[in-house]
Amino acid sequence: MINDKILAIILGGGQGSRLYPLTDRRSKPAVPIAGKYRLVDIPISNCINADIKRIYVLTQFNSAGLNKHIKNTYHFSFFSSAFVDVLAAEQTPNNKTWFQGTADAVRQSMHHFLGNDFEYALILSGDQLYQMDYDKMIAAHEASGAEISIATIPVNAKDATGFGILKANDESVITSFIEKPDTSLLPDWTSEVSDDMKSQGRNYLASMGIYIFNKNLLVDLMKNPDTNDFGKEIIPQAIDKHKTLSYQYEGYWTDIGTVGSFFEANLGLTDDIPKFDLYDNSRRIYTHARMLPTTKIAGTILDKAVVSEGCIISASKIEKSVIGIRSRIGKESTVTNTYMMGNDYYETLEQMESNKIEILMGIGERCVIKNCIMDKNCRIGDDVKIIGGSHLEDTETDTYCIKDGIVVIKKDAVIPKNTIIE
C-alpha cells in the first residue's frame, strides 16, 4: 500500500562541517549510526512505516556513497510506483549554481517532483534521530485545513536559543516565529504545552525542520528566487499569509549536527531503556540487508553494550559502547564509552597471517579505548591507549581528530602499536 497523497523530500544538508571528519568522505545522511544503519535510514524508515513510499533524497556533497547505499537497500515491487531516489545538485541551462539552502534545493529539484501526482509535500531532514508517525501529522494537517504544517517540539530555555521558536493560538495555528532568539526575548515566547512538558521546564515550541506543504502553495512559494531557506525565510514570511499549523510532538528527537550530539545519540542506545527504540515492531528501522554471520565473543565481559552482527570479539571488557558490523577486537583490550563503526569487509586468514599486513583491521590486543569514535576500517595496533576527555584540546592529525574531548579515529586510519593519546 502507498500513500498516494504524499511525496516525501529528504534534505541531505550541506557539507556537514560540524560532523567532520565523519563527513570528510561521505555525505551527512550516509554517516553510519547505531552500528549497522545510516542516518538517512531514519527518515526513510519513518516514511515506509507510514506507507509513504515515494521519496526523494536531496544532496550535493560526497553523494556517491549515499547513492550506493540507497540503490542497494530500497527495492520495491516492479509493479509498484514506490521509489527512493537520490537527487544530487545538478547544473541546468537555467541554473549554474549548487543548492544555496534548503528551499533552493527544493526549488532546483521541483521539475523532478512535479513528474509525480501528489497533494502534499512532506519535507524532512536527513540528519535527525527520531521515530514519528507521519500519518497523525498528515491527518491533523488535513483536518485543520492548513496550507503548511510544522512539526514542533517543546524545549527548555537553554535549548530555545538554538532553534526557530514559534507561538501558536488555542487552535494550534502559528501566529509568530523567531529564529534563534536571544535569552532576553524568551519570556515573550512561551507556549501552551502539556503538563509533562511544563514539569520539565520545556515551555517553548521549537521547529523540528519537518514540514508539510500543500502542493500548489509550495509551487507558488518556489517561484521566488530570493528565498533560499525554509527556516530563515519561507516559514517566517508565510505565517501571516497562509494558515500554518503547529503539530506538537513530545517523543524523542535529536538533531545530529555535531560530533558531540552524534556521540551522545549513539551511546544513548546502550541505556537499559533507550529513548530511541530500535525494538519497536511497529516502527522498524530499515537498512541494507547484509548476509553476515553471527557475532563470536570469547572471554569478554559485556556491560551495556550494543554489538552488531558479524563481529569477532576477544576483548576483556566492553562497557557502554556500540560495536558496529564486522568489528574485530583483540585479547585483553577494554573498550569504554566508544562507538566503533566496524568494517566494510573481512580480511582473509591468508592476509592476516602474511607479513604484508602488520596491523589488522579493528582493535589489537591489550588496548585501552575510551571516549572515542572509530570510523570504518580503522587499524589499531597492539598496546594502544586512547583516552578521550575534557582534558584534551581540539586538534587534528592525519589519522585522528579531537573534538570536545572525543577522539575521532578517521576512516581507514592506521594507529601504530604502543601509541598513546590521552
Q: Which of 270, 286, 319 is the last residue of a domain?
A: 270
Instruction: Judge if 327 and 394 occupy the same domain.
Output: yes
Are 62 and 140 found together in one domain? yes
**C-beta separation of 6 from 122 below 8 A:** yes
Write the pLDDT tens digit of every residue in 269-302: 999 999 999 998 889 999 999 999 999 999 999 9
Regarding beta strands 120-125 and 204-214, do their DSSP bridges make them parallel or antiparallel, or are they unpaired? antiparallel
Calpha distance 91→190 (Å, rounded): 44
Place of cell 516514511: 47
157: nearest Cα among 221, 225, 205, 85: 205
Does residue 413 lie in a domain region? yes
**What pTM was computed for the model?**
0.93
Residue carrying the nine cell digits 521539475:
111
Q: Does one domain contain both 186 and 224?
A: yes
pLDDT tens for each residue of 25-58:
888 889 999 999 999 999 999 999 999 999 999 8
* Distance in angstroms (rounded) separating the CA atoms of residues 122 and 350: 51
Provide the number of structural domains found in the chain. 2
CA–CA gap between residue 157 and residue 154 (Å, rounded) = 10
> What cell was used for 165?
521558536
Q: What is the structure's pLDDT at 355?
A: 64
Q: Is the residue at 17 inside a domain?
A: yes
Instruction: State whether 266 and 309 are in the same domain.
Output: no
Same-domain pairing of 376 and 252: no
Predicted confidence band at 94 (pLDDT cuts at 50, 70, 90)?
Answer: low
Percent of the chain with pLDDT over 90: 71
Q: Note down the domain range covering 397.
A: 296-421
Residue type at 406 in one-letter notation = I
Reduced to 3 states (helix: H, G, I; strand: E, B; else coil), residue 212 is strand
Is residue 280 in a domain? Answer: no
Query: What is the residue type of 275?
Result: K
pLDDT for 49: 94
Same domain for 23 and 138? yes
Whether residue 397 sits in one domain with residue 302? yes
210 and 312 part of one domain: no
Asked if residue 207 and residue 112 are part of one domain, the reply reads: yes
Task: Kindly report the CATH number assigned to the domain that includes residue 321.
Answer: 2.160.10.10
What is the spatial distance between Cα 286 and Cα 344, in angstroms, rounded to a whole number?
A: 18
CATH of the domain at 55: 3.90.550.10
pLDDT in tens, 60-73: 777 788 888 999 99
For the beta carbon of residue 33, count every other beta carbon within 10 angstroms: 26
163 and 311 fall within a common domain: no
Q: Is residue 289 part of a domain?
A: no
Cell of residue 23, nine digits: 563527513
Peptide bond into 187 cis (omega under 30): no
| Residues ≥6 apart with Cβ < 8 Å to 264 | 254
DSSP letter for 231, please.
I
Contacts of residue 1, defined as CB under 8 A and 6 or more positions apart, other chains included, come to 51
Both 230 and 157 in a single domain? yes
Whether residues 21 and 134 fall in one domain: yes
